[in-house]
Each structure stands twice: as structure tokens, then as C-alpha cells.
A and B are shown apart, each in its own frame.
Chain A
Amino acid sequence: MDLVGDVLLWSGVFFIGLTCLGLLRLPDFYTRAHAVSKSETLGLGLLCAGMAFHAQDGLVSGKFLLLLGFGALINPLAAHLLTRAAVRSGLAVWTKREAKPDASEETGRS
């Protein structure tokens, strides 16, 4: 039981680290939003499942599973709201033809 919890915890930490890598290395706001919404949600879910395995009390495990469902609900929703705000305020989408994508993002806003 503890081994399963440890494996879930460390795989969650791996996916959170993957989120950090995507947030640093991807070229555009939209690709970064993609990295944060998916990978961060999976990491939060795996870590909450691992902590629910490690908790001795049944009520505490249920609260960690509630936190899992809550995070799976609100984390993509927050990324979607930010991306919709970026689209409606006219943030330019990265295309590979541009030489320096980050430099042209500010001029792409209307």
C-alpha cells in the first residue's frame, strides 16, 4: 500500500517537473497554456491519489480524492479562461516562419 502511494507521488512530481519544462521552453503563450493545463492537472491528480493512499484515516483520504476531483475541474477551466482572454485581446499565435516569436507577440496585440 505504501509502495503504491510512493510510486504515485513520484510520478506526480515527474509530471509537475514536465510542466515546469514546458513553461520554460515552449515558444508561445498558447503552447505554454497547453503544457500547464494538461500536465499540471495530471500531476495534481497523481499526487492527490498518492496522498490519499498514504492517509490512514478514511475521511482524510476522501478529502484528498475531493481535492483530486476539484483540481481536475478547476485547473483546465482556469487555463481555458486565460486562453480565451488572450484570444479576445488579440494575442498573436506563434507560427514557425517568424524568426523571433516572443519579440513579435507584443506587436501582435491590438
Chain B
Amino acid sequence: MDTFGGAATAIILISIINMYRLIQGRTLFDRMLALAAIGTNTIILVGLAGFVFSRPEMFVDVALAYALLNFVSIVVISKYLERRKEQ
């Protein structure tokens, strides 16, 4: 049980450090990349929270749904950024 709490704390700290690139990133694509990395960290964090609260069979479905949602948002925003040049 202690391992999951430590790993979750490390992932939270890494996500907070990643927010430097999200806020300060020079281009819009850097911000999107930091957002994708933080989304992946959130998937891991939801899976670890299931073990911390000793109910992993419920949280793993949440993690799968969040992975799908994160991917769809990245695809839509990158398609929008790709088409922005033509206008």
C-alpha cells in the first residue's frame, strides 16, 4: 500500500513540474505536448488511486475512459491547429 502512495506522489510532483512547459511554453504546440503528457500522467494517477483506496476494479474503468477522452481531445485540437494555416 505504501508503494502506491509514494508513486502517486511522485507522479503528482512530475505533473506540477510539467506545468512549467504548459504555462511558459514558447509555441502553442509545446503547450499541447505538455497537456498530452499531463493527461497520460492523470491516467496513471487514476490507476494508482484505485490501489490507494483499495478498490482497483472500479478505478481501472475510469482510467480506460479517461485515456479515450484524452486521445480524442488531442486529435481534435491537432486537426484544428493543422487547418488553421489555410485560413
Contact = CB atoms under 8 A, between A and B. Distances in A.
A64 B60 contact: yes
Contact of B17 (A24, A78, A81): A24
Interface string A30-47: 001100100010011001
| Chain A: interface size category | 35 or more
A71 B14 contact: no
Given A74-B71, A88-B85, A13 B10 contact: yes
Main secondary structure of the interface of B (DSSP, over half): helix
A75 B67 CA distance: 9
Nearest to B10: A13
| Chain B: interface size category | 35 or more
Contacts of A109: 27
A36 B36 contact: yes
Interface string B6-17: 010011001001
A63 to B, nearest CB: 5
Interface of A: 6, 9-10, 12-13, 16-17, 19-20, 23-24, 29, 32-33, 36, 40, 43-44, 47-48, 51, 54-55, 57, 59-60, 63-64, 66-67, 70-71, 74-75, 77-79, 81-82, 84-86, 88-91, 102-103, 105-106, 109-110
